[in-house]
Amino acid sequence: MDRPAPLTVEETKSYLEKKGYFELKTVLQAHLSPDIVEIIDDLETAEQVFVFRLLSKEMAAEVFSLLDRDDQEELLLHFSNETVQHVIEEMDPDDLTELFDELPDDLVKRLIPLLSPEDRSVVSRLLNYPEESAGRLMTPAFIELTSDKTTDEAIALIRKVGLDKETIYYSYVTDEKHRLVGVVSLKDLLLAPPGEAVEKIMTETVVYSNTVEDQEEVAKLLSKYDISAVPVVDKERKLVGIITIDDVVDVITEEATEDFHKMVGIEAPEDDYFGTSFVVLGRKRALWLVILLVMSYLSSIVLKNYADILQIVIPLAFFIPMLTGTCGNTGMQSATLVIRGLATGEIEPSDFTRIFLREVLMGGFLGVILGLFSFIRAHFVDVNPFVGIAVGCAVFISVIVSNLIGSILPMILRMLKIDPAISAGPFITTIVDVTSLILYFEIAKLIFGIAG
Amino acid sequence: MDRPAPLTVEETKSYLEKKGYFELKTVLQAHLSPDIVEIIDDLETAEQVFVFRLLSKEMAAEVFSLLDRDDQEELLLHFSNETVQHVIEEMDPDDLTELFDELPDDLVKRLIPLLSPEDRSVVSRLLNYPEESAGRLMTPAFIELTSDKTTDEAIALIRKVGLDKETIYYSYVTDEKHRLVGVVSLKDLLLAPPGEAVEKIMTETVVYSNTVEDQEEVAKLLSKYDISAVPVVDKERKLVGIITIDDVVDVITEEATEDFHKMVGIEAPEDDYFGTSFVVLGRKRALWLVILLVMSYLSSIVLKNYADILQIVIPLAFFIPMLTGTCGNTGMQSATLVIRGLATGEIEPSDFTRIFLREVLMGGFLGVILGLFSFIRAHFVDVNPFVGIAVGCAVFISVIVSNLIGSILPMILRMLKIDPAISAGPFITTIVDVTSLILYFEIAKLIFGIAG
């Protein structure tokens, strides 16, 4: 026994060339679907179609679900109708919904007739929920019990219907109108005395989500309450689906990546590096950089405004990158802390005052240290000591201001329902640059006694 | 039925003041432990001790496990020995290990005698594994089967021993030397015909981890193979523990937060905003900012070096923040893409050439656009058109360089086994500032025809 995935892409290609289909089929059977996905990723479409023919129906559906959207589209165009039907028959409703959501319309039209009537109704229902909502993420394949059942009856039911369910480890208890009233785990059912009523052992304090809730909130629920599945109810509190933790793990990783990318203006529909097309990524990146470039117009205007004193005390210019850099870094630090705190749910808008006070203190502390260091540093560049004093004072005040802007701006944006991760870059940098430059030159003017 | 947590901190305090212990106990029983944690967080230590007395043993252990380290320490100092014993008796081995790992030595010495002999041996064994390793994260509370069992015997065993196990949903099959040979899910056991041999239905292609593997790699395994628990083996391939997905969800969130923080130099032992002490955070932040400030000494030297041309063409100074800003932003974009790709496992060191080529192209594309925009922008600041040409050319070349530095540096650091997230800030900013300023002034010198 060893960790899976000894089969390489080269070996697969050589099996296919030698027409060693039977051997390849046997080798593939000993692999797990995520490892087959890694091999298939690097094959040509025609080779991919061949490999799919060698997989069992169930494995084919699993592997297909895990492929990139582009590969899926390409394969659907090359599969026979029969293969398409095999694959989509076996796919979970939530994966199927995600697929139909992202495929081009003409392909969807071709596929719809190949769906079973039940799948068709499920997919069209789930697609009606907003993007990134619990409704989109959930699956209707859950186990539903009425509270009058005994544990034995419940276990018998699970054995009967469990095969097609997303999880058999939680059963949801509903009333006659399918409204959620409790949850019971398979563990509780198995460990309870046989013949006990489900009503007696179920938990009535159920953590649940509703169909329109954002997927990020669902992820927080599962992580906070340490549960592996959460039931989803509709407006009438009827149980309509469940979301399992495996889908949520992907959501957490995706949302973190999304936030990283937003902070530098590269939020893309696909969240991975190679999965995003050069053109889409290039356009996103260029747009954000151009916006920042245009906004930095303000800093040029500020500097132009102080051309007189700059002309007289040229060494003032030597410290511009250090000043804007230090203040920008300070602002990005406090912004990152607050943005991440808001994203994980640790910081709430109600913490405004507490954060404000803490960051005023922190800014003061950082301002003193950085002001002192920049004064000393100016000395080493060997300039007029008055320049050093101007640099030190400007850094001291600007760091306090930048630190506050960095921490407060994300809070304000969150209150205005604007995503705080987007704000970190453009706003903070621009505001911080302009304020620190104005402070710097005003202090310099004071020190060098030149009137505006 | 409604979402949990209607009890507020004020209500809790008023119950305690009125000595309404019985009522409070009843109300608390209808709550889930994460909600009780939120209430306890905002109480004084004496009040916290009171609330703990009202909780069941099991709930007390759960709530205690979820508290911040500081609160835990404080409570352990105020609990009676009896309460301490109740709490630690009920705690899971992995939570207990984490607690003992982080408590001060003198408190650990006081607690060790209160542990049961089994707990004592488990904790001391787990603490021997490296920090952030699979060995630290795992729990020895798993279900172990031999392959000669039938499904009925296996289910009977689960019913008997399941209560104290971390999960009953996977049973691990081992040989006579406790070496892992397979895994069987409770689902497979329940849905198989009664009397079937476990050997026949178990999966032999087991995904497993080993005790010294990094927790981030374990998280990737669970997420890649979509499994809710992974077995951990020692050097002799003996099964020694399992890691369940609930612990991994925390790891994923923690690791993402850690990376966010690293990128701005605030990697702290505690990963949350309020959980980190002001002094620890202030020291971390100041250190990183001072390092950057000292490194920006180079940019001042560069500027001083070009004081002559600056003196003659003062407007060159107007565009310094724009130039360093644009190049810094470009470098941060490509660095973020690559760092996040490396963190999620999408990008491997072997992708070096592919990324290099892609980013050369991307840099060229961004360079043309940003160079053009900065040339136009310079026009609006109303300066000598030759300055605009210098600005445009410098931005064009510097953006290409910055983009490459941002994408390649993290790859190189990863190959040198240095964490790439740390590099983004200090190195990229410094290198990008210096190179872009030198390019800018050299181009300006060429254009204005002044010899060095």
> What residues does A239 pair with on adjacent strands?
A233
The alpha-carbon radius of gyration of chain A (Å, integer) is 30
Instruction: Select the residue of A208, A245, A322 nearest B296 (Cβ to Cβ).
Output: A322
State mean pLDDT over B211-240.
89
ipTM confidence: 0.71
Whether residues B307 and A319 touch (CB distance < 8 A) is answered with: no
Using an 8 Å CB-CB cutoff, list chain B residues near A252. Answer: 249, 252-253, 256
- Residue pair A177/A130 in contact (Cβ under 8 Å)? The answer is no
Whether residues A261 and B337 touch (CB distance < 8 A) is answered with: yes
Measure the CA–CA gap between B333 and B345, rounded to whole angstroms: 18
pLDDT above 60 (res A95): yes
pLDDT above 80 (res A373): yes
Region of B265 please: left (phi>0), alpha (psi -120 to 50) or beta: left
pLDDT, residue A1, reads 41
CB atoms within 10 A of CB B80: 10
Instruction: Compute φ and ψ for A241, nearest 5 degrees.
Output: -175, 175
Q: What Cα–Cα distance (Å) separates residue A145 from each residue in A190, B188, B363?
A: 15, 21, 59
Measure the CA–CA gap between B396 and B327, rounded to whole angstroms: 10
For the segment B99-124, what is each residue's pLDDT rounded down to a tens digit? 888 788 888 888 888 888 888 888 88
Question: What does the mean pLDDT of chain B come to?
Answer: 86
Of residues B156, B190, B57, the one with CA closest to residue A191: B156
Whether residues A288 and B333 touch (CB distance < 8 A) is answered with: yes
Classified as helix, coil or strand, A351 is: helix
- Residue pair B166/B139 in contact (Cβ under 8 Å)? The answer is yes
Whether residues B310 and A317 touch (CB distance < 8 A) is answered with: yes
CA atoms within 13 A on the CB side of B42: 12
Classified as helix, coil or strand, B37 is: helix
What percent of chain A stands above pLDDT 90?
27
CA–CA min distance A282, chain B (Å) = 7
- Residue pair A54/A24 in contact (Cβ under 8 Å)? The answer is yes
Q: CA dihedral defined by B190, B193, B196, B198, rounded to 10 degrees? A: -30
Q: Which residues 270-289 of chain B have a CB within 8 Å of chain A? A: 272-274, 278, 281-282, 285-286, 288-289
**The token pair that represents A274 in the structure block:** 């190679």
What percent of chain B stands above pLDDT 90?
27
Q: Which residues 113-132 of chain B have a CB within 8 Å of chain A? A: none
pLDDT above 70 (res B5): no
User: What's this model's pTM, rounded to 2 decimal places?
Assistant: 0.72
Give the H or E element holding residue A211: none
Using an 8 Å CB-CB cutoff, list chain A residues near B290. Answer: 369-370, 373
Whether residues A370 and B286 touch (CB distance < 8 A) is answered with: yes
The sign of the dihedral angle between the CA atoms of B83, B84, B86, B90 is positive
CB atoms within 10 A of CB A278: 11
For the segment A114-146, what is each residue's pLDDT rounded down to a tens digit? 888 888 888 888 888 888 889 988 888 899 999
Q: Which residues 126-165 of chain A have a CB within 8 Å of chain B? A: 155, 158-159, 162-163
pLDDT, residue A423, reads 63
Confidence of residue B239 (pLDDT cuts 50, 70, 90): very high
- Quickly list H helices, B67-116: 69-78, 81-90, 93-102, 105-111
With CA atoms as reference, the chain B residue closest to A203 would be B30
Q: Which residues 234-273 of chain B have a CB within 8 Å of chain A? A: 237, 245-246, 248-250, 252-253, 256-257, 259-261, 263-266, 272-273
For the segment B37-92, what is each residue's pLDDT rounded down to a tens digit? 888 888 888 888 888 888 888 888 888 888 887 888 888 888 888 888 888 888 88
Q: Which residues 394-433 of chain A have a CB within 8 Å of chain B? A: 425, 429, 433
- Quickly list H helices, A275-351: 278-295, 297-305, 307-312, 320-344
pLDDT, residue B2, reads 46
Q: Is A147 exposed, middle or buried (0-12, 13-18, 19+ CB in 10 A)?
A: middle
- Residue pair B179/B239 in contact (Cβ under 8 Å)? The answer is yes
Q: For tokens 């925009």, name the residue.
A: B373
Give the H or E element holding residue A362: helix A352-380
CA atoms within 13 A on the CB side of A254: 14
State mean pLDDT over A165-183.
91
User: Out of A302-306, B371-375, B404-408, B420-424, which region has the weakest mean confidence (pLDDT)?
Assistant: B420-424
Of residues A214, A343, A405, A357, the one with CA closest to residue B261: A343
Question: What does the mean pLDDT of chain A come to?
Answer: 86
For the segment B298-323, what is each residue's pLDDT rounded down to a tens digit? 899 999 999 999 988 999 999 999 99
Domains belonging to chain A, first-starting first, are 9-128 (1.25.60.10), 143-245 (3.10.580.10), 296-448 (1.10.357.20)
Classified as helix, coil or strand, B242 is: strand
CA–CA min distance B113, chain A (Å) = 30
Using an 8 Å CB-CB cutoff, list chain A residues near B206. Answer: 1
- Residue pair A12/A24 in contact (Cβ under 8 Å)? The answer is yes
State mean pLDDT over A306-335.
90
Give the H or E element holding residue B160: helix B151-161
